[in-house]
Structure 1
């Protein structure tokens, strides 16, 4: 099925061939009613009713085209809502009638209509005629009009005599009556009912009956009595054609055409599964808002606009539903943007937030109430929210939902902290990185052109915003195939060696993520290319990254064909790096740099590491106390105000992996104090060289004391 831009515009149709909802039977009903009235009655009023956006104007246009095929019909349009006051509305009405009587033949009749119009125009200023409160002024106004020797009645009789002789039927179409103010509406009805009910003149009105009843109820005629307002309409209208609700097939057809229009506009394919799932959600939850062609097209126009700027950067399903909320529940939509921490799980540390399903239900119930969601539709809106946020799903179902942030980010869901702001900014917000930029940059690197514009932009983002950029590389790397990853690995390695530990609770650090990315790049390299790649990758500059990766892979116990080759190529490079470290005062060595020594020992033997360390101590390069402080670990205490590193709790067994205890006690003779009863007090101290040394000495004191 093909589709054009027009399929989701709100322009009314002008031709039956454009009718995609197959409403020809409604057009036929309306035309039949008009033709019947013209045959059987001297004058009549016919109404086409339907909800706002149901397609009334389109049906009128197609019906007019059918009626114009009959040369005995003269069609005229009158738009009462174009006039600024009631008097000009009356004058405009009669100008429309005159327009149906062209040529010299009707010159006299048009002149009579002009005089009649002039005499009737003051009626637009008479309050009682339009439901106003000033009855005495109304009576006086009517008296003034009727006192004229050439009364309205005489003028009217003369016009009626002329119109009975005309050889065609005048059909006046009045669309959008529900746009009028109450007093304007009442005046139009009085014109049709009394003042201009001429022979051979027929009226076709179009309005939303619910709105018309509201308007009439606001006048003194009905005085908030809707049955009285309805009875008044029945007096005015002799025949009614009602546009039925959209059929299920029409809903589906408009939905699919909207999807196709979006695909055509953006060039982004949407899977059949995704379309089916979204249609189910639309029919289950969105139906109360999408009962007319206009409402459906309005939604798709909004979705198309946002998807045009965010395609490939957000999840289509979530963009569709959040677009719905933006249009039909704007107050609630705006409030969501202020709840990022809660909705994305970033408020983990706020223990005032209760997260059981019952608590979530209370929270969302209050949100819907506070932002004026009608109670009758609150379950629908909660269902929509439940498709976006797990907390709302828990409120709806009463069952806990598991959130996996990595999966949410990979799927670009709104619940991902990395993607949330995009749905409200409708662009890539400051501090974020476009997924497209990352993919294009990776392609530039893998193509061997690190000078490529996209690759250069990615490099800048990597160095300025690694916390955001590296996870994105990890997320999209599988979408880019082939090429040589050497330059990308080198760039990642330079960041790996410079970045501070930014580990977060239940999440790894950026350095961890870089190691995983490099592992993925090596894993996907073909067997005949891996040795060439490793020859380029294994360098002193990349040694910390590679030794961490090799240790990670060794712990995983995963069988990897090229891992022994990596170990072999890395060993001499890493041992040379260890010897460089050994030439420095151990207290001054950066913790990350010292990790090369530890990883080297874990990969190639801790006994070798012990011997190497003892040698550094014996030749005077390292102090035993400083080495001990480097061996003591540290722990991170996570909090909403930031992370704090404290001295890590270690056992003697942990230290013995890299430490000959007897050798250490001998070297530290005189520095080891009495055994401490409670070592844990030292683990509350900040992690620095001095405090770690104190912990190590206290641990050795327990051995010496025993």
Structure 2
């Protein structure tokens, strides 16, 4: 956002949270208002001093729409008036808020009570106080007289009795007050805020009191109101009439002699204010905003939020809400997403609720009802669906496009369905964003849910692991590992950037954790496979002697070589990234091959079909790593007759497990003739098994169980088919 000089409320967001920073109250110190209004405040004070130099009562109005800072202006003006030194006539300020009173009688009573209470208690003011009480008695119900604090009640009752006998009239009582006020010659300013919040009858009574009863010498009035709201209220009275805005304006001209319009907040001021406050807020929350985040916030602000964040009150409420709710989330979610969502929460609460209700669609999760996903999508239907959601969320039609743009910035799936072009954005949501499945719930829980894992905990655990130290955070991560592997892997990706941390330490730790995962680990998408994929990204970034050190580290932690085999399988054939096809990774494969040879040799003369599965699963990678060693191993056992050749081929037949089947059987797959050729040679196989191949005529069901007999049959069938072709 713009980098202009600071023009905002300098203390708006730096007050103690227990104080006024999070309330909707006006600021009380004129120094707090730094919106360039010093000249406006000076003008009001100068004007009041000028009218106060004359005895005639005057009504001055500060006019501005809700939230523009009228109450702050009144506070600043009254503070300045109270600070005027004794060389000039000092002001007496009475603050009267008619919104506090529930009915017309209490409002009428309070008007005079506040005026009487504002008068000093000195002897010179005694007649003024009693005169106000007497005047109030003549125009207000008798029941109101008891509310005149500090006035002799006996004298009031006596005056009331005299008034009943006709000895004291309204004009006489008013004349007595006027005489007393002229004698003490001090200006009294009655400040009345929130005039526009009164109902129509209360409003008419207030103006009647001001014009007919309250226009006393040396008594002046400073009103504040939103003109549109006030005129609307007047138009609903019998005095003005519905739809008579012009008549209402004419009426107000009879009440108010001088009006001052609060200067609007300029666009540059708003942008600078928000930019500075967001930056200071981020600093207090220890949040660092990168260039991409600043770009996103600028886009959200200028595309829509700016048009609806036009008053000091609106900005104050927005930023205070962010700070009050972000304390537990500042390091756990994307700060800009939280800013945008906070604005939606404050300005479009039903949209906020709809986001929660529409989680599956916004995150692209499968809907069990089948109504949302999958299949070819109807772009028109998608747009209509969201239009209906926003309409039911009471979004004004004029704001529909802007709100949709904010949602598009938060949720790539919404952008796609609404019809916004965001090429390459869908499916690439970074950690911390609300559109990330692991972070969505945090934005609405205002903290890390119990079934989640704090990013700060994972970050500290990562540092402890790399340093070879133990600690509470590492303990938490390792305890949660088997049940929350996917969640933890996702967070490790954020803090363990391949090539920037010690990959050998990472791979050693992953090997230890991988052993703890369930046995059905070869299925895609399982926690074990996620772990392997993450480990492979670190392995391929190793350089120098580190690949060799990594294989040794993994093998030391898991002598079965199960995890090491899966990690370095990335080096097999065409799968290997170009940068791994060099001597550094060749040494790693040689190390793996040597350790695998030891495991296979330890089986002695055991029939291949009886090899433990965890040993035979290493065969493919062993063959890829050291073909000559595998061939020597096979030749030795075939030459001394300890193995039937067909059983070796049967063991080399692949196996498969059907998905979605309870307690699934292991089924036969096929024979990889290329592997057979590299292990013993196809010519030798066809020569030594010529009779079995020639005589084979057995048929197998499509889903044959992987028994030794069926695996031998699959091997012979593959050899016969290849021979015949």
TM-score normalised per structure 2: 0.80
Give the structure 2 partner of residue 77 of structure 1: 95
2:423 counterpart of 1:409: no
**Equivalences for residues 318-357 of structure 1 within 5 A:** 318-347=337-366, 350=370, 352-353=372-373, 355-357=377-379
- CA distance in 2 between partners of 1:198 and 1:688 (Å): 111
Give the structure 2 partner of residue 22 of structure 1: 36
Give the structure 1 partner of residue 14 of structure 2: 6
Give the structure 2 partner of residue 256 of structure 1: 275
2:508 counterpart of 1:489: yes
Offset from partner CA, 1:261-303 (integer Å, 9 cap, x none): 3133212222355335413421321123211112112212222
Give the structure 2 partner of residue 101 of structure 1: 119
Alpha-carbon spacing, 1:383–1:574, altered in 2? closer, same or farther (3 Å): same
| Long gaps (5+) in structure 2 | 16-20, 145-161
**Equivalences for residues 34-73 of structure 1 within 5 A:** 34-39=48-53, 42-68=56-82, 69=84, 70-73=88-91
**Equivalences for residues 201-216 of structure 1 within 5 A:** 201-216=219-234
- CA distance in 1 between partners of 2:588 and 2:181 (Å): 102
Give the structure 2 partner of residue 477 of structure 1: 496
CA contact (8 A) 1:343 1:415 kept: yes
Alpha-carbon spacing, 1:517–1:247, altered in 2? closer, same or farther (3 Å): same
- CA distance in 2 between partners of 1:243 and 1:578 (Å): 88
The farther-off stretch of 282-291 and 623-632 is 623-632
Between Structure 1 and Structure 2, how many residues are aligned? 676
Alpha-carbon spacing, 1:315–1:645, altered in 2? closer, same or farther (3 Å): farther
- CA distance in 2 between partners of 1:509 and 1:664 (Å): 42
Q: How far off is 1:515 after superposition?
A: 2.7
Give the structure 1 partner of residue 203 of structure 2: 185
Q: How far off is 1:437 after superposition?
A: 1.4
Q: How far off is 1:260 after superposition?
A: 2.9
Q: How far off is 1:162 after superposition?
A: 3.0
2:460 counterpart of 1:440: yes
Give the structure 1 partner of residue 297 of structure 2: 278
CA contact (8 A) 2:551 2:564 kept: no
Q: How far off is 1:246 after superposition?
A: 1.6
Alpha-carbon spacing, 1:20–1:169, altered in 2? closer, same or farther (3 Å): same
Q: How far off is 1:447 after superposition?
A: 0.7
Alpha-carbon spacing, 1:215–1:452, altered in 2? closer, same or farther (3 Å): same
Alpha-carbon spacing, 1:645–1:67, altered in 2? closer, same or farther (3 Å): farther
CA contact (8 A) 1:486 1:537 kept: no
- CA distance in 2 between partners of 1:630 and 1:179 (Å): 86
| Long gaps (5+) in structure 1 | 126-144
CA contact (8 A) 2:135 2:170 kept: yes
2:568 counterpart of 1:550: yes
SS in 2 for 1:472: helix
Offset from partner CA, 1:121-180 (integer Å, 9 cap, x none): 33999xxxxxxxxxxxxxxxxxxx998734434323332343344412211111122343
Alpha-carbon spacing, 1:212–1:583, altered in 2? closer, same or farther (3 Å): farther
**Equivalences for residues 354-373 of structure 1 within 5 A:** 355-373=377-395
Alpha-carbon spacing, 1:668–1:528, altered in 2? closer, same or farther (3 Å): closer
CA contact (8 A) 2:334 2:433 kept: yes
SS in 1 for 2:45: helix
CA contact (8 A) 2:92 2:187 kept: yes
Q: How far off is 1:551 after superposition?
A: 1.8
Offset from partner CA, 1:630-688 (integer Å, 9 cap, x none): 733548769xx999999697586578577967599779889965457xx8xx36x9999
Q: How far off is 1:380 after superposition?
A: 1.0
Alpha-carbon spacing, 1:651–1:686, altered in 2? closer, same or farther (3 Å): closer
Alpha-carbon spacing, 1:232–1:620, altered in 2? closer, same or farther (3 Å): farther
Q: How far off is 1:112 after superposition?
A: 2.5
Alpha-carbon spacing, 1:95–1:586, altered in 2? closer, same or farther (3 Å): farther
- CA distance in 2 between partners of 1:381 and 1:106 (Å): 60
CA contact (8 A) 1:447 1:484 kept: no
Alpha-carbon spacing, 1:643–1:390, altered in 2? closer, same or farther (3 Å): farther
Q: How far off is 1:582 after superposition?
A: 8.2
User: Over aligned residue pairs, what C-alpha RMSD do you find?
Assistant: 4.3
CA contact (8 A) 2:383 2:419 kept: no
- CA distance in 1 between partners of 2:142 and 2:645 (Å): 108
Give the structure 1 partner of residue 486 of structure 2: 467
Give the structure 2 partner of residue 517 of structure 1: 534
CA contact (8 A) 1:76 1:173 kept: yes
CA contact (8 A) 1:44 1:238 kept: yes
- CA distance in 2 between partners of 1:466 and 1:542 (Å): 21
- CA distance in 2 between partners of 1:667 and 1:470 (Å): 53
Q: How far off is 1:212 after superposition?
A: 2.6
Q: How far off is 1:563 after superposition?
A: 1.0
Offset from partner CA, 1:97-118 (integer Å, 9 cap, x none): 1134322112122112223324
* Pick aligned residue for 1:90 from 108, 132, 154: 108
CA contact (8 A) 2:192 2:224 kept: yes
2:199 counterpart of 1:199: no
Q: How far off is 1:392 after superposition?
A: 3.1
CA contact (8 A) 1:43 1:200 kept: yes
The farther-off stretch of 578-587 and 306-315 is 578-587
SS in 2 for 1:250: helix
* Pick aligned residue for 2:473 from 454, 472, 478: 454
CA contact (8 A) 2:653 2:671 kept: no
CA contact (8 A) 1:647 1:692 kept: no
Q: How far off is 1:441 after superposition?
A: 0.6
CA contact (8 A) 2:548 2:591 kept: no
CA contact (8 A) 1:54 1:292 kept: yes
- CA distance in 2 between partners of 1:503 and 1:327 (Å): 48
Q: How far off is 1:480 after superposition?
A: 10
- CA distance in 2 between partners of 1:330 and 1:691 (Å): 65
Give the structure 2 partner of residue 568 of structure 1: 590
- CA distance in 1 between partners of 2:303 and 2:522 (Å): 42
Alpha-carbon spacing, 1:395–1:519, altered in 2? closer, same or farther (3 Å): closer
CA contact (8 A) 1:422 1:429 kept: yes
The farther-off stretch of 336-345 and 372-381 is 336-345
2:195 counterpart of 1:173: no
2:403 counterpart of 1:385: no
More helix by percentage: 1
Give the structure 1 partner of residue 266 of structure 2: 247
Q: How far off is 1:77 after superposition?
A: 0.9
Alpha-carbon spacing, 1:552–1:276, altered in 2? closer, same or farther (3 Å): closer
Give the structure 1 partner of residue 554 of structure 2: 537
Alpha-carbon spacing, 1:44–1:587, altered in 2? closer, same or farther (3 Å): farther
Q: How far off is 1:61 after superposition?
A: 1.7
Q: How far off is 1:500 after superposition?
A: 5.1
Alpha-carbon spacing, 1:109–1:567, altered in 2? closer, same or farther (3 Å): same
Alpha-carbon spacing, 1:672–1:97, altered in 2? closer, same or farther (3 Å): farther
CA contact (8 A) 2:59 2:258 kept: yes
**Equivalences for residues 110-149 of structure 1 within 5 A:** 110-122=129-141, 149=166
- CA distance in 1 between partners of 2:39 and 2:612 (Å): 82
SS in 2 for 1:281: helix
Alpha-carbon spacing, 1:672–1:277, altered in 2? closer, same or farther (3 Å): same
**Equivalences for residues 219-238 of structure 1 within 5 A:** 219-225=237-243, 227=245, 228-238=247-257
- CA distance in 1 between partners of 2:52 and 2:657 (Å): 91
Q: How far off is 1:357 after superposition?
A: 3.9
CA contact (8 A) 1:255 1:279 kept: no
Offset from partner CA, 1:581-612 (integer Å, 9 cap, x none): 78878778786664322222233339937974
CA contact (8 A) 1:29 1:241 kept: no
- CA distance in 1 between partners of 2:118 and 2:472 (Å): 67
